[in-house]
Amino acid sequence: MAPAAGGLKAQKMDLPGPRAVRTFDGMKGYGQFCPVAKAAEIFAERWTPLVLRELVCGSHRFSHLHRGVPLMSRTLLAQRLAQLEDAGIVRSAARTKGRGREYFLTPAGEEFRPVIERLGEWGQRWARSHVSADDLDPGLLMWDIRRRVNTDRLPDRRVVVQFDFRAVPKTFRRPATFWLILEHRDVDVCLKDPGFEIDLVVNADLVALTKAWLGDVRLADAMRSGLVRVEGPTALVRAFPDWLALSGFADVERPRVGAAR
């Protein structure tokens, strides 16, 4: 049937021809023109949201990105970064000092920032009941703590805090001891003894410190209960809770019991 006069005529879409595209582990697309489908082909592949989370949180070096996703192989991380660069989400540049490259979000990648933030807020509010013992990781907890320190509340000198974790899952095969190096200009976490004098020793039940970090319990209460023990000079012990800003999702309002049903 011919279209009515003045009506819509069939439009021909000017589509690009076939092109070679690097895929994630051979993943096929959804075969849909829908913008949600096209965005999901980039964003929703395994590990990609966590890589973007690390970039949003300020990690730029490859080694720093990998510390935020330690169960992801370095080969797969390199592949994923290359894919994100091809997609215009990430750009890389040679480091101004030292070897290797650094990775940054492009303007298109920056638009994922509120997506990552809302996803984390939703997870804090609705998905926490699905956390198991195997999801607990003292290394990842320390990496998150490292970037959430109130440096303006630190003493006017370097402070070294040793963390000894107990009740660690058997899946964590490394020694559960870490050293947090605190200075106004920089904060770092070490997997090996840095050789500095230790100012504080934190002996923590992993579950208790994780709950305190996520805002489920007050850190001061965990310290009073003995689940988190801090030893050292009295003034530093008292100041310690104020040094940690807690998780960026700690203040997310929790639903009432049964609200999700």
Mean pLDDT of the region 166-176: 84
Q: Between helices 48-56 and 35-43, what is the axis angle to 10°? A: 80
What domain count does the chain have?
2
How far is the first Cα of the chain from the last one, in angstroms, to the nearest whole number? 51
Q: What is the model's pLDDT at position 23?
A: 45
Task: Estimate the crossing angle of helix 113-122 against helix 48-56, to 10 degrees.
Answer: 110
Whether 209 and 231 share a structural domain: yes
Cα(201)–Cα(179) distance, integer angstroms: 9
Range of the domain at 172: 133-243
Q: Which of 174, 156, 175, 155 is nearest to 164 (CA)?
A: 175
Same domain, residue pair 117 and 187: no
Region 232-243: mean pLDDT is 96
Range with the poorest average pLDDT among 32-36, 107-111, 119-123, 174-178: 174-178
| CA 62-43-132 angle, 5° bins | 80
pLDDT at residue 22 above 70? no
Whether residue 184 sits in one domain with residue 108: no
DSSP structural state of residue 125: I
Q: DSSP letter at 149? A: B
- Give a yes or no: residue 1 inside a domain: no
**Mean pLDDT across the chain:** 89
- In contact, 104 and 95? CB cutoff 8 Å: no
Residues 170 and 206 in one domain: yes
Stretch 197-204: mean pLDDT: 98
Examine the domain organization and report whether 181 and 92 are in the same domain.
no
Domain at 219, CATH number: 3.30.1050.10
Phi, psi of 25 (to 5 degrees): 50, 35
Q: Which tens digit of pLDDT belongs to each residue from 24-52?
A: 455 678 899 999 999 999 999 999 999 99
Q: Is there a domain that residue 256 lies in?
A: no
Mean pLDDT of 64-85: 96
Structural domain ending residue among the three candidates 128, 156, 191:
128
Q: How far apart are CA 181 and CA 64, in angstroms?
A: 16
